[in-house]
Structures are given as structure tokens and as C-alpha cells.
Chains A and B, each alone.
Chain A
Amino acid sequence: MELTLFALVALAAVASALMVVIGKNPVYSVLFLVTTFFCLAILYVMLGAPFVAALQVIVYAGAIMVLFLFVVMLLNLRHPQKWDAGGSTRRWIGFATAAGVLLVSLAAVKGAFDPNAPLQPEMGNAESIGMALFTRFLLPFEIGSILLLAAIIGVVTLLKRDNSKVATKGGEA
């Protein structure tokens, strides 16, 4: 039963991930990526991590993908090309490298762990995560908040237009 659910969700995740990569239109890519993230959230619930699943839906499928969609709509690209790869040489180098990555990671999966590892009881609720986050991982948590602050300031600085000229123009007019 649970295996069937896993197979279905995994298939949906892989299919929509493929659609992200081969899609013509970036808007469709964003929507398929949201589908992939929902599938991963289901897998997190199956793995006994409901808190991470909630974060996945709220932060990834919610906040981050809305930001993506906003930028895709904002840029309004007029010429969506089909598989816009530059030159077949580079494309084949890309495919070959990806195949190599797949082989290496599958080999690592084969040799890395005990295949009969027993399933452990669930433990990913908000309470246990909060306890770990605010005791053992307090310093990384604070550093993370500083990182987000730095990102905010960086984005504002990057996209700020030079307002002094605009202001003087407005003053003259």
C-alpha cells in the first residue's frame, strides 16, 4: 500500500521534474516545479517529517516559487525557444556529464549503507525540531538570520535605480 503510494508520487515527481527541464515556456516550468515540490512534501510526510513537509509547502512551493513566477511574468520573455541549447556539441557534453553524475550517485547509493536498515519511529514534529534548533543549533540559526538580512540588503542594493536623477528631473518638471 505505502509502496504503491511511493511509486506513484516518485513517478509524478520525476515526470514533472523532466517537464521543468524540457519545457518551452518558463511559466509552465515554474508550475511543474511546484508540482515536484508538492510530491516531495508527500514523501516527507511518508518519511515521518511533517514539519519539513509543511516548510516545503509554505516556503518552497509558496514563497520561493511565487518569487520565481513573479520574475518570469515581470520579464515577459517574448521568444520562448524550444530546448534553447547552444550548439549540439555543448548539449551532448551536458548529457554525457549528467549521465556520469547519475552513474556515480547510483554507485554511491549501492555501496553506502545497510540495505536492511530498520525503519525508525517518527520524530520530525515541530516540538523536537524546535528543541534541537534552539539548543544545539542556536548559533547556525542566528547566522542564518544574518544571511537572510544580508540577502535582503543585497537585493535592494542591486535593483535600486539611481533615484537622484529621477528626483531632480521631477523637481524641474
Chain B
Amino acid sequence: MKPTLEMYLILSAVLFTIGVTGVLTRRNALIIFMSVELMLNAANLTLVAYSRFLPDISGQIFVFFVMAVAAAEVAVGLAIIVAIFRQKESVDIDKVNLMKW
């Protein structure tokens, strides 16, 4: 027996939820970033699963673009974290309130 579409979607939902938990409960900016990556990958799994079962190649193309955007996002985000660390000597997001007035 082969795994069904539903199993892939449930796995994807669980991974996404773990990512959401990480973003909402952690304070270390690096771990929050990794949780965002986890959520992106959960979405990718959904896209590939649907691409197989529908069947339509567009889902896999979309995953390709998600990866490109994720690469850009990681580069810029880590640069921002490094820039903040240079100023504050910390990656704790509670200490980063320079956009707050």
C-alpha cells in the first residue's frame, strides 16, 4: 500500500504547526528564522504532494520559486541579525525594539 495524499497533507500540517510554535514562543532570532524555514518547507511538501496527485507540474515549479525566495530571505534576514548583533551584542528579539516609538 502506498501513502495517500491525505497522509502527506497531515504531515505537512504538523510540520507547519511546529514552525508556528517556534516563531511564537522562542526569543532567539536565529531559531525563529529556522522555524520560518520549517514552515516554508511544510508548504513545499503540500505543493509537491498536490503536484503528484493532480497531476500538474506547476506545483514543482512553484517549489522552485519558493526556494529562490527563501534563499534571498535567509541572506537578507541573517544580514539584519548580524547588523543588530553588532549594535546590541544580542539576538534576543525582546531587546530589539528600535522600530517601536
Residues of A within 8 A of B (CB): 2-3, 6, 10, 13-14, 17-18, 20-21, 23, 26, 29-30, 33, 36-37, 40, 43-44, 46-49, 51-52, 55-56, 59-60, 63-64, 67-68, 71-72, 74-75, 77, 81, 83-86, 90-91, 93-95, 97-99, 101-102, 105-106, 109, 112-113, 115, 117-124, 128-129, 132-133, 137, 140, 144, 147-148, 150-152, 154-155, 158-159
A75/B64 in contact, CB under 8 A: no
CB closest residue in chain A, given B63? A52
CB closest residue in chain B, given A23? B31
B18/A14 in contact, CB under 8 A: yes
A97/B20 in contact, CB under 8 A: yes
A75/B82 in contact, CB under 8 A: yes
A29/B20 in contact, CB under 8 A: no
CB closest residue in chain B, given A11? B11
Shortest beta-carbon distance from B49 to chain A in Å? 6
Shortest beta-carbon distance from B18 to chain A in Å? 5
Residues of B within 8 A of A (CB): 1-11, 13-22, 24-28, 30-31, 33-35, 37-38, 41, 44-45, 48-49, 51-55, 57-58, 60-61, 63-65, 67-76, 78-83, 85, 91-92, 94
CA distance A129 to B62 in the complex (A): 11
The verdict on A64 contacting B74 (CB below 8 Å), with A21-B18, A40-B44 known, is yes
Shortest beta-carbon distance from B36 to chain A in Å? 11
Taking chain A's interface residues, is the majority helix, strand, or loop, or is none over half, making it mixed? helix
